[in-house]
Amino acid sequence: MLRVSAVPLRTKFLSSCTACLLLTGTQAFATEYNGTAYPLGLDTALAGRMPPPGLTTFLYASAYESNELKDTNGHSKAGIEDFMLRYQALAVCLDYVYSDYSLLGGTLASRAALPFIKGEVSFYANTPQGRVRYRGKSEGFANVAVTPLFLGWGSSRYHQMVGVDFYLPTGSYDKDRLFNAGTNVLSYSPWFSLTAHPIENWEMSAKILYMVNGKNDATNYTSGDEVIADYHLGYSVSSNWQIGMSGYLYKQVSDDESHGLSVGDDGNRGRVLAYGPSLKYQTPAFGVLVKWQHETQVENRAKGERIWLQAVLRF
């Protein structure tokens, strides 16, 4: 969620979470915010299962910390020392499933989410004037995410959903701040999710989305398109408890552009693979999910650790 601008002595870092979320010395790096509007690793367990009719409330808390910044070859970024990025996010998401309407044989629903982010970044950069320390922190509401309508189908062993998320540029933003909660960009992402139970007590879930980012008018910067896949494999040890592994794959598939020109030798295309254990407790009316996700295979991004605490309440 940060960016280092092309201005040598005014390195600027920005953060975004619905994404969620992340970062670099002399040019923009792996999308302008070194992250994505979508909070990576969010939709893992039961990703393809539609909630029951009526209102369902999801509560999310996450924390991310990194002490490494990687370049296009996966090596430590030259010219950056003592790098540190950390942030915490809280979000509430409301799903409303319509009981009186259907389309193409599927159930209709709507969704809205609002995250709050608090974060900070610091590092030393080698400049023509010498070694300079940069540090910034901020907190505020991030971009509102809305899904006007999405569709879901389900059977005893297979569930799937499809929709388009919109991330509105409503979050706190200042182009001169090192860290921002908002992105000042309108983004949208068509997505497909599924949950399958191929064998009794086993769950396989995934969500795949394609993110398209608009231009940041404050900086004249357009981040490249992104492909993201959250995944989950779980085993139910009882009717209420499940252990598993979850994570995400992220790949930027088109170049960043600044003032209409491609940025860097490779367009600052980022990538990352994350994995880690998960533990879920579920009842018909309440559920809690805890996840830890370790990042590896990182290019043009920060490399760090992410933890999640997610809860669901049904009314």
Residue ranges of domains in the chain: 54-314
The label of the residue with tokens 């030259």 reads 78
d(CA 246, CA 43) in angstroms, rounded, equals 9
Q: Rounded CA gap, 250 and 229, in Å? A: 7
3-state secondary structure of 85: strand
Strand order in the sheet with 261-262: 215-216, 221-222, 257-258, 261-262
Please tell me the distance from the alpha carbon of residue 107 to that of residue 98, in angstroms, as a whole number. Answer: 7
One-letter-per-residue 3-state SS of 12-51: CCCCCECCECCCCCCCCCCCCCCCCCCCCCCCCCCCCCCC
What pLDDT sits at residue 22? 27
DSSP one-letter code for 76:
B
Q: Are strands 130-141 and 145-154 parallel, antiparallel or unpaired?
A: unpaired
Phi, psi of 36 (to 5 degrees): -155, 155
- Divide the 315 residues of the chain into consecutive groups of 10 and give the mean pLDDT of each group: 32 31 32 75 97 96 95 90 94 96 94 96 87 91 96 96 97 88 93 97 98 93 95 97 98 91 85 98 94 96 96 89
Residue carrying structure tokens 């399958």? 196
Tokens of 144: 């509102």
CA 2, CA 12: separation in Å to the nearest integer?
A: 7
The DSSP output letter for 79 is T
DSSP at 240: S
C-alpha–C-alpha distance, residues 155 and 49, integer Å? 10
Longest dimension (CA), the chain: 67
The pLDDT value recorded for residue 32 is 63
Q: What pLDDT is attached to residue 230?
A: 98
Amino acid code (one letter) for 142: A
Q: Report residue 174 as tokens.
A: 């200042």
What does R_g of the chain's alpha carbons equal in angstroms?
19
Measure Cα distances from 106 to 155, 156, 163, 294 in Å. Answer: 11, 15, 12, 36
Per-residue model confidence (pLDDT) at position 103: 93
> Looking at the domain 54-314, which fold is it?
Porin (2.40.160)
- What is the DSSP code string of 182-219? --S--EEEEEEEEEE-SSTTEEEEEEEEEEEE-EETTT
Return the pLDDT at 10.
Answer: 26
Q: What values do phi and psi take at 154, rounded to 5?
A: -155, 155
Can you read off the two tokens belonging to residue 82?
């003592």
Task: Output the pLDDT for position 19.
Answer: 30
